[in-house]
Structure 1
Amino acid sequence: MPYRSTEILPPGGAGRTPVGVVVLAHDQRHVRRKLLHMQHDDVVMLDLREPVLLAHGDVLLTETGETIEVIAAEELLYEVVPKDILHLVELAWHLGNRHLPAQIEAERVLILRDHVIRDMLAGLGASVREISEPFHPLRGAYHGNGGHRHGHG
């Protein structure tokens, strides 16, 4: 029998050992109602009032009090390293102009692998290398706040 969850808690919020783990890519973490498969083949029906953007470490609280941890999946990405902060802004503008999901950090930008975009960024003078790690792109202005309604620390 599948679990059912209607509540999300922040990381460590339940203070219990989880009965399972769901590993989700960035585009699978924006959810409202969805059947999620855990690592050990059990399932949990997530049934929320509004869409949320699940974060790495969030906890799904089941109706019976068990908890299930959310883990951000590793994804195949490009790490884009600019020459300086002004170059970072320029690269971010080009990526945003193409409506590409991007994780923008102080000294790098992460994007999903796309050889055409890689070539464009290299042509703009960026250092681009292939990596694999969890991806946490910014939500666009037209997506609202993603519905994520609890603090992280």
Structure 2
Amino acid sequence: MTSELPRATRVVESGGWPADAAVASLTLVYADRHLRRRRLKADDGTRLLLDLPRARLLAEGDGLALEDGRWIAVRAAVEPVVEARTGDPQALARLAWHVGNRHTACQILPNALRVLDDSVLADMLAGQGAEVVHIRVPFTPEPGAYAHGHSHSHVRANDVDPLADGPEAAP
């Protein structure tokens, strides 16, 4: 006899849910955080069904509300990124323009930009005068101007079987 999976039917942004009440966490890389309906496995092995009304990008610190009142915390997994550093605000703005012109997800820091590790982007950023460093950190890019109704990300919820077992994060 198989039991029904707990269903997460709502996402609450970081700061808007009782994070101290989380019973588990779900750690995913950026490419796996754009979801609508999918079977997933939390970091502790708990299986759940994410069943949202529409696809959305899950962010670090978001809470998934299970139908039974429990909460699952969303975590951004550590992954390889390129960090382009500069101490000049105008140079940083120029770098951001070039990254944006390529419709690439980008995390904006006070003196740097982060993009997923890509040798072509790394060479372009270095060519624009940035100090380019390859690091492994959680990648949390800007959600974009259309984040509440449209994602410009090239990650699409329809690219995979929505009820296939979801990505399993490394410990």
* Separation of aligned partners in 1, 2:125 and 2:46: 42
1:104 aligns with 2:108: yes
Q: 2:31 aligned with 1:23, yes or no?
A: no
Give 1:106 deviation, angstroms.
2.4
User: 1:61 matched to which residue of 2?
Assistant: 65
Counterpart check, 1:7 vs 2:13: no
Q: Partners in 2 of 1:48 and 1:99 — Cα distance?
A: 26
Tell me if the contact between 2:19 and 2:63 (Cα under 8 Å) persists in the aligned partners: no
Match of 1:92 among 80, 88, 96: 96
- Residue type at the aligned position of 2:108: I
State the TM-score, normalized to the length of structure 2. Answer: 0.76
Distance 1:93 1:34, change over 3 A: same
Sequence identity (%)? 39
**Cα shift readout 1:11-69 (whole Å, capped 9, x = no counterpart):** 46236532221101122222221212111222111111122222212111111122111
Residue 53 of structure 1 contacts residue 146 of structure 1 at CA under 8 Å; is this kept in 2? Answer: no
Residue of structure 1 in register with 2:134 after alignment: 130
- Give, in whole Å, the separation in 2 of the partners of 1:89 and 1:10: 28
Partner secondary structure for residue 136 of structure 1: coil
User: 1:145 pairs with 132, 147, 167, which one?
Assistant: 147
**8 Å contact 1:51–1:146 — kept in the other structure?**
no
Gaps of 5+ in 2: 150-171
TM-score, L = length of structure 1: 0.84
- May I ask how many residue pairs the two structures share in their alignment? 146
Matched AA of 1:96: G
Task: Give the 3-state SS of the residue equivalent to 1:88 in structure 2.
Answer: helix
| CA distance in structure 2 between the aligned counterparts of 1:69 and 1:57, rounded to whole angstroms | 6
**Cα–Cα, structure 1 residues 88 and 15, in superposed 2: closer, same or farther, change >3 Å?**
closer
Among candidates 121, 126, 130, match of residue 117 of structure 1? 121
Q: Distance in 2 between matches of 1:11 and 1:89?
A: 27
